[in-house]
Amino acid sequence: MELEFHYDFGSPNAYLSHLVLPQLEARIGQAITYVPILLGGVFKATNNVSPGVSMQGILNKPEYAQIETERFLRAHQITAYERNPDFPINTLMLMRGAVFAQGQAYCFDYINAVYHHMWAVPKKMDEPEVFHAALMESGLPADEIFDGASLPDIKSGLIANTERSVARGNFGSPTFFAGDAMFFGKDKLADFEAEILAGRT
């Protein structure tokens, strides 16, 4: 069964999911394929908006969402998380970099680094000089990534990933696919794992 994680660095819940996926992979004995998508493109294609926008003006719901996040952090013993003060951040440049990095040996180093600089030690990563410095600090070839992210096939690759994801039913991130079965949100990771295990029996 093909297992996929459709992610955008701009989603804090995608970051939190990323932190716990290694334990899930160890339990199921299978790697999960990371598929970079552009969340803004998904929202535009599906007429969706971010939770921060959808919850504006709603009494109690934002506070409860924060409680759920805190419960998730405690349950998974996550301490490397801090709300990015510049949220929301335009992730187009970051996600193009992710598509380019897929063909490189440092792919997961790139993913880990960008997530780190977005949500562990938050920075305004949609500023090119900040993004470049963060990559350098993480020991990544920043110039190569910047050049690669600007290639036409990389740009079209991100568009194609996003369009395919929407065509399969996606409307946000984090989204997980176990074969054709889709699961949305970090709170559905247990259901995602159950689907994988059920498919093996």
Q: What is the pLDDT of residues 1-43, one digit of tens each?
A: 999 999 999 999 999 999 999 999 999 999 999 999 999 999 9
How far apart, in whole angstroms, are the C-alpha atoms of residue 77 and residue 20?
10
**Rounded Cα distance, 96 and 57, in Å:** 34
d(CA 90, CA 39): 10
> CB-hemisphere CA count at 13 Å for 130?
16
Q: What is the pLDDT of residue 93?
A: 98
Domain with 145 in it: 3-198
pLDDT in tens, 156-169: 999 999 999 999 99
Report the number of secondary-structure helices (H) and strands (E) in the chain: 10, 4
Number of domains in the chain: 1
Residue 6, helix vs strand vs coil: strand
| pLDDT score recorded for residue 163 | 98
The enclosing domain of 73 has a CATH number of: 3.40.30.10
